[in-house]
Amino acid sequence: MSQLQGAAQLAQFEALLQPNDPTATLAAAAHAWPGAVVLSTSFSWEDQIITHLIAEANLPIGLFTLDTGRLFPETYSTWTATLEKYQLPITAYYPQADGLQSYVVANGPNAFYESVALRQQCCHIRKVEPLQRALAGKKVWVTGIRAAHSPNRNDMQQLEWDATHQVVKYHPLLHWSTEQVTDFIQQHHIPANPLHQKGFVSIGCAPCTRAVKPGEDFRAGRWWWEDASKKECGLHVHSA
């Protein structure tokens, strides 16, 4: 798709956007691009809220998750509870076996601690490449990103064109506060990862995630052994 076509698709979505009504916006997108709107979920607070909105409104939006093989047991428990509550199919995408095997044989199972390059290679195998398969042929990628998640996300818009995956990215909860998120979870009895109550703010792979200490930045619990400027895995890349 050309840059011009991408801009046209983004403009089409902008005409549908209702900034303060995510359910209405999701419904409009699902109608405009039938079968081509998907939510990526890691079973975080934010993703669980969007899943709830999709289920409550019975929206024809697909759900998928990236199972890296290194997730917390609590994440798998939340996944199971989500399936039980909402009865929605969640497609799991896994790393390609050959690539993962080659990486582990060459570098060891915990090589990501050794250098940024090896960590990024691990992220690519376990998350970035599976995401490419998950988004193939889709038009809209719905995410649970909030501006508070990372300093470099403060300037994000609710809608953006992702040139890498050739999709419009929609962040319905971008401007929600943490208090809004937790209140909504409690009010609607939404299954939530218990690690959130133990200081884990952003939950990814178990070896690469720790609880955040009082006073630390939101993102401090991810890849804590690296410089803060390197703390992205390649899933969410800003496109001009």
Residue 89: Cβ within 10 Å count: 9
What are the angstrom distances between the C-alpha of 96 and each of 37, 101, 112, 117?
24, 9, 18, 19
Question: Residues 122, 123, 208, 233: which is the catalytic one?
Answer: 233
Phi (first) and psi of residue 118, to 5 degrees: -70, -35
Q: Both ends of the chain: CA-CA distance in Å? A: 15
User: Both tokens of residue 112?
Assistant: 């990501």
Active site residue 233: yes
CA distance 168 to 171: 10
Looking at the annotation, which residues are catalytic?
233
